[in-house]
Structure 1
Amino acid sequence: MAVIEEVPRSDGAGAERQWREARINELLTEHERTGAPLFVAGTVERPARMAGPLASAS
């Protein structure tokens, strides 16, 4: 399951890549449950919304 999706830009100028927050939260929950290594990287324009959950998963 992909963790990044293309969504229309609010200004109508094409699309932008965004993290699928529900999928990222699923990965973090699984990481916390199992303790398995988790590496997250991406090139999204606005990752700040996930900064808190990602930082607390370390």
Structure 2
Amino acid sequence: MKTLDRLWTVNEVAAYLGVPVGTLYQWRCRRIGPPGRRIGKHLRYLPEDVRAWVREQA
């Protein structure tokens, strides 16, 4: 059984993608970036969603 990955923060996704944090927020507003979820007041990303989004960009 695979261990579930923890959710990624905005900073972790930005580092993974090599883009500024502000770019992620702009993409989110324009609905063109990887799907994120609000957990309380925090924005978090599922690692598999981010990886799938990257694959779709190719």
TM-score (norm. length: structure 1)? 0.31
Q: Which has the higher strand share?
A: 1
**Higher RCO, 1 or 2 (CA under 8 Å, sep at least 6)?**
2
TM-score (norm. length: structure 2)? 0.31
Q: Which has the higher helix share?
A: 2
Larger Rg: 1
